[in-house]
């Protein structure tokens, strides 16, 4: 996950993006305290769950594509 999350953005969005990376790369480090910190930035439980779903689905589909050798769309090679 090399996306640039260093530019100016609201704290709430940065927290959500950082959490998405955490879920995708180190899900076992997610603790109740981490979820509380997200809520403290104004995120709702529904938004947090949506982030978990998106990170999980992308991880799943990437593994599926990698394991089956599915080629990228031509525009994705650029």
Residues 24-61: tens digit of each pLDDT: 999 999 999 999 999 999 999 999 999 999 999 998 98
The pLDDT value given to residue 21: 94
- The DSSP string of the chain is ------SS--HHHHHHHHHHHHHHHHGGG--HHHHHHHHHTT--HHHHHHHHHHHHHHHHHHHHHHHHTPPPPGGG--
Q: What is the pTM of this model?
A: 0.77
């Amino acid at each position: 996950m090399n996306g640039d999350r260093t530019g100016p953005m609201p704290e709430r969005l940065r927290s959500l993006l950082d959490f998405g990376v955490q879920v995708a790369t180190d899900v076992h480090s997610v603790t109740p305290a981490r979820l509380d910190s997200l809520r403290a930035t104004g995120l709702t439980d529904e938004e947090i769950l949506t982030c978990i779903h998106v990170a999980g689905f992308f991880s799943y589909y990437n593994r599926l594509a990698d394991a089956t050798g599915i080629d990228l769309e031509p525009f994705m090679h650029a």
